[in-house]
Amino acid sequence: MGAEHDHGHGGRDGADRHDHGHGGGGHDGHAHGVAADADRRWLAAALALICGYMAVEVSIGLAVGSLALLSDAAHMLTDAASIVLALVAMRLAARPARGGFTFGLKRAEILSAQANGLTLILLAAWLTYEAVERLISPPAVSGAPVLFTALAGIAVNVAAAWCLSRANRTSLNVEGAYQHVLNDLFGFVATAVAGLVVLTTGFARADAIVSLVVVVLMVKAGCGLLKESGRIFLEAAPAGVDPDAIGDAMVARPGVVEVHDLHVWQITSGQTALAAHVLVAPERDCHAVREDLERELAARDGITHTTLQVDHAAAELLTVGAAAPSHPDGHCAEPHGAVHREEPHAH
């Protein structure tokens, strides 16, 4: 059996023990965050638009007794809260890693996205209750104020959505705020239709029906945010990334005998990380194989944040037809996930 070499075995939640064990030449060039200064300006502009119009809409909604307007105003309140959360999370995520927070506070952005999704769901539940009550006993609603206020709201939300679209929406945090505003825009369009129906036909239940349409949009967006943020918190592989395919591609590289303990997860939006234990043929240079794997992962899958433990394979692992050793030299007594193994004759 060849000599064993431990090349940079790093834990998923800790820093690497050796510089050469971290793939991609360190953190340079990683898409670890958003363009903070530019994005903060766009988010602040959207926040100012929303807060100003929300105050106007609440006043009119109370004056004319429109649930559709009040529901839109409540939704705008969550829009404002989502943008504030996004701004705070961006500040926290920009702080350097220190102490026990070896990745810094980058997942503060994912907490913000999850909070945005949850508020959409809770607000949808409240609006459903109110809308059903108004379907049973519809109050008198003045159509003209509802129509004109909703048309003005469409213009404000188009401007706010445009501001947020200029920010980096690859961040789930920014995407959460954008989804809030976009759903509010759809809600205003529906409210304008309700106002027109009430104005032309006197059908007061249109106001509550439109509120239920807004609820459907809110639930859809909220569930999407909770699903995506939940995947990150559960450290699942990013959507569209197949860890088994990555493992098969790694073990197909020259000199690689086996890949196990393969983990692919997201630290935060746009920052995918990979860790694996790689066994190579005894005659191969462990450093050269690791560097080849890092280049392949970066080129094939766009993963540059890697931690690879590279060791020489045990002699019995290279025997044709032999079963893989359970834990050669104490390594990986209980490997996690699939074991990717090349045929011994390939080396």
Helices 36-64 and 172-201 sit at what angle, rounded to 10 degrees?
A: 20
Rounded-to-integer distance, Cα 260 and Cα 123, Å = 45
Q: Which residue has the tokens 């379907």?
A: 135
Alpha helix positions (H), 242-334: 243-251, 286-301
Give pLDDT tens digits for 19-66.
Answer: 334 444 333 333 434 455 667 888 888 899 888 888 887 888 788 776
pLDDT at residue 155 greater than cutoff 60: yes
Split at pLDDT 50, 70, 90, the class of 335 is low
Whole-number pLDDT of residue 341: 83
CATH for 243-315+327-341, among 3.30.1490.20, 3.30.70.1350, 3.60.20.10, 3.40.50.150? Answer: 3.30.70.1350
Question: Is 202 strand, coil or helix?
Answer: coil
Whole-number pLDDT of residue 25: 39
Instruction: Look up the pTM and report it.
Output: 0.67
Where are the domains positioned within the chain?
35-234, 243-315+327-341
CATH for 35-234, among 1.25.40.10, 3.10.20.740, 1.20.1510.10, 3.40.718.10? Answer: 1.20.1510.10
Phi, psi dihedrals of residue 344, rounded to the nearest 5° = -60, -35
On the question of a common fold for 35-234 and 243-315+327-341, the answer reads no
